[in-house]
C-alpha cells in the first residue's frame, strides 16, 4: 500500500475553505489536474455523494464520499479510474484545522495497485511520483482558489509561482 500526504496553510478561515471543498462536484475549481467535474448524485456532498472528473491530459475518474464530518473533513473512494492507474483500491481524505485566522488543509492519499509485483514496479517507476506531483498541485490549487476566488488552472498556478 502506498501513502502520500501533504499539508498547506491557507490564508482564509476554515469556514471559507470548507465552502470550497464541500462543493464536491466543483473540484475543477481548485484541482488544476482536472478539465471538468460534476456531481453525479442528487446530493453534492455528504456520505454517498458521487462525482465524475475528466483528467488532464486524459482519463476519467468516478469518486464517492465514504465519510463526511461536516465542516472538518471527508474521505472519498475512487470507484472507477479509466486510464490513470490499475487500482485495486484508492481513497483520499481532506481535512481542515483552524489555525488562528488561517486554515491548515491536509490531504492523505492511500492506494494499492493491481498486478502484484508488476503493479509494485509500475508504482515505483512511474505512478507514485505522478500522484505525488498531482497531490501537491491539488493543495496549491486549493490555496489559490480559496484565497483568490479564481479557478486554479495549471497556467494560473504557474503565473502565481512566477510572481512569488
pLDDT of residue 85: 85
- C-alpha pair distances (Å), 101 with each of 46, 57, 98, 141, 146: 26, 36, 7, 19, 13
Range of the domain at 122: 2-163
pLDDT of residue 84: 82
Distance separating the N- and C-terminal Cα atoms of the chain: 36
d(CA 105, CA 83): 28
Domain count, the chain: 1
Q: What pTM did the predictor assign?
A: 0.95
The CATH number assigned to the domain holding 81 equals 3.30.530.20
pLDDT of residue 164: 72
Whether 130 contacts 124, CB under 8 Å: no
pLDDT tens series, the chain, 164 aa:
999 999 999 999 999 999 999 999 999 999 999 999 999 999 999 999 999 999 998 899 999 999 999 999 999 999 998 778 889 999 999 999 999 999 999 999 999 999 999 999 999 999 999 999 999 999 999 999 999 999 999 999 999 988 87
DSSP 112-135: EESSHHHHHHHIIIIIHHHHHHHH
Amino acid at each position: 500500500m502506498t501513502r502520500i500526504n501533504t499539508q498547506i496553510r491557507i490564508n482564509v478561515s476554515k469556514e471559507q475553505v470548507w465552502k470550497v471543498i464541500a462543493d464536491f462536484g466543483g473540484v475543477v475549481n481548485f484541482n488544476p489536474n482536472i478539465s471538468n467535474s460534476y456531481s453525479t448524485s442528487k446530493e453534492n456532498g455528504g456520505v454517498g455523494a458521487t462525482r465524475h472528473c475528466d483528467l488532464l491530459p486524459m482519463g476519467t475518474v468516478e469518486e464517492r464520499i465514504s465519510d463526511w464530518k461536516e465542516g472538518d473533513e471527508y474521505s472519498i473512494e475512487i470507484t472507477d479510474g479509466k486510464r490513470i492507474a490499475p487500482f485495486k483500491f484508492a481513497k483520499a481524505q481532506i481535512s481542515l484545522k483552524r489555525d488562528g485566522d488561517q486554515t491548515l488543509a491536509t490531504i492523505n492519499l492511500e492506494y494499492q495497485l493491481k498486478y502484484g509485483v508488476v503493479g509494485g514496479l509500475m508504482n515505483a517507476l512511474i505512478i507514485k511520483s505522478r500522484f505525488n506531483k498531482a497531490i501537491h498541485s491539488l493543495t496549491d490549487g486549493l490555496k489559490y482558489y480559496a484565497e483568490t476566488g479564481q479557478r486554479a488552472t495549471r497556467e494560473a498556478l504557474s503565473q502565481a509561482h512566477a510572481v512569488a
